[in-house]
Amino acid sequence: RKEVEQDPGPFNVPEGATVAFNCTYSNSASQSFFWYRQDCRKEPKLLMSVYSSGNEDGRFTAQLNRASQYISLLIRDSKLSDSATYLCVVTSYNQGGKLIFGQGTELSVKP
């Protein structure tokens, strides 16, 4: 079983749709959580950190459920420019703080 698992994609949605990505992690000692975005043939870039209380950045909302070891990302009013692969990322003290990446979920927003 992979340490970080994401919804298999791709997600094909029309502009304006709301889309949710799910992610589970297996290491209960994980302490930091992130969503990264990777455009085709580009490097990953941090989209947002995920806090226990949940956090929002414009159209993006991230949630963390430590008890269920589950992270989510909600994108409202999706735009064509949201098309990318979204990577769920976790770090753990007992792994030296290394980032553990999920396999990514591809999103394609169509006009």
Partner 1 sequence: EADIYQTPRYLVIGTGKKITLECSQTMGHDKMYWYQQDPGMELHLIHYSYGVNSTEKGDLSSESTVSRIRTEHFPLTLESARPSHTSQYLCASSEESEQYFGPGTRLTVT
Site residues (vs partner 1, CB under 8 A): 32, 34, 41-46, 49, 87, 91, 96-99, 101-104
- Residue 58 or 96: the one with the smaller Cβ distance to partner 1 is 96
Q: How far is the CB of 37 from partner 1 (least distance, A)?
A: 11
Asked whether the bond before 10 is cis by omega within 30 degrees of 0, the reply is yes
- Residue 32 or 76: the one with the smaller Cβ distance to partner 1 is 32
Pull the structure tokens for residue 23. Answer: 């992610």
Write b or e for each residue in 66-96: b if 16 or more Cβ atoms lie within 10 A of its Cβ, otherwise e. Answer: eeebebbbebeebeeebbbbbbbbbbbeeee
Q: How far is the CB of 77 from partner 1 (least distance, A)?
A: 26
- Residue 16 or 93: the one with the smaller Cβ distance to partner 1 is 93
